Amino acid sequence: MTQLVLHNYDLDDACYRVRLVASCCDLPVELRNVDMFPGMEQVSPPYLKLNPLGRLPILETADVTLRHTGAILLYLAGLDPQKRLLPTEASALAQMMDWLFFAEHDLSVSTEARAISIMDLPGDGPQTIAQTRALLRIMEDHMSAQEIKGLSFFAGEEITLADIALFPAFALSRDCNIDHDAFPALRLWARRVRATPGFVVMPGIPDYH
């Protein structure tokens, strides 16, 4: 199989999503650790050549260079012979994509809120935290409805890429002072995500075992 190289920063939640999908799909990935903070190595000339957007994660293979988390996740899930994180049915697939876009686009504010809180980066802390909380509430409302329908995950009965893409924003929310008290449905869902074979943690997400 083609060699997968992930340009990675351990504390970055987008890089964590990639590591998590790779682990759940049993795909070996070679990590190249990047000094994102405080070194800002992702905007150094060699990295800007790889990704002019100046961001991580970047996934490199002999054939492709991918620099959007969603695209990387889709690629990895597609490489998995068992396709365990990809629904085949059209509606479930579309729902997965809907939440994947939510995670990549809307929820990017949670990454910003967390970076402001823990790395003291510039930005509007209170505003980004309030936006993150409002988005987590949308997720809580959805999972409350899913539970009533007897569905355990965001896009249906089975775990998909959507759940993995959404998980870090909830699991790390305490880093920007958003507690889990008001999200009972997300607490139960996060427990199911944790129980997925191959699940791994990152700094800030405790391993209970």
Partner 1 sequence: MSETGWVPIALSRFIAPGTSAGTAVHGAEIVVWRDTGGKAHAWEDRCPHRGMKMSFGFVRGDHIACLYHGWEYDETGTCRYIPAHPDLEVPPSICVTRYAVTEAGGMIWTALPLGDMPEVEPNAPEMDGLRSLYIDAPLDAVLAGVKTVASEVSQTGALITATLGETPLTLGLQTVDADHSALHITLPSDTPTATRLSLLDQFATLRRNVESPLKEAAQ
Which residue do the tokens 């990152």 mark? 202
x/- letters, 114..143, toward partner 1 (CB under 8 A): ---------------------------x--
Instruction: Kindly tell me which of 21 and 171 has the beta carbon lying closer to partner 1.
Output: 171
Please work out the total of residues on this chain that contact partner 1, with binding judged by CB under 8 A.
17
Instruction: Kindly tell me which of 8 and 173 has the beta carbon lying closer to partner 1.
Output: 173
Q: What is the footprint of partner 1 within residues 77-106 (CB under 8 A)? A: none
Instruction: Kindly tell me which of 32 and 137 has the beta carbon lying closer to partner 1.
Output: 137
Q: Which of 25, 74, 24 is CA-nearest to residue 195?
A: 24
Q: Which of 174, 196, 201, 204 is the binder for partner 1 (CB under 8 A)?
A: 174
Q: Residue 114 in contact with residue 176, Cβ under 8 Å?
A: yes
Torsion of CA 43, 20, 157, 135, to 10 degrees: -40
Q: Which of 120, 188, 198, 200 is the binder for partner 1 (CB under 8 A)?
A: 188
**Neighbouring residues of 73: CB distance < 8 A, sequence distance ≥ 6:** 17, 18, 21, 100, 161, 164, 165
Instruction: Answer yes or no whether residue 195 interacts with partner 1 by CB under 8 A.
Output: no
Instruction: Answer yes or no whether residue 182 interacts with partner 1 by CB under 8 A.
Output: yes
Instruction: Answer yes or no whether residue 203 interacts with partner 1 by CB under 8 A.
Output: no
Instruction: Kindly tell me which of 60 and 163 has the beta carbon lying closer to partner 1.
Output: 163
**Neighbouring residues of 193: CB distance < 8 A, sequence distance ≥ 6:** 159, 163, 164, 167, 199
The span of 17-25, 43-51, 62-70, 186-194 binding partner 1 (CB under 8 A) equals 186-194
Instruction: List phi, psi (to 5°) of 15.
Output: -65, -35
Please state, in angstroms and rounded to a whole number, the distance separating the CA atoms of residues 33 and 47: 12
Instruction: Answer yes or no whether residue 206 interacts with partner 1 by CB under 8 A.
Output: yes
Please state, in angstroms and rounded to a whole number, the distance separating the CA atoms of residues 83 and 111: 28
Instruction: Answer yes or no whether residue 185 interacts with partner 1 by CB under 8 A.
Output: yes
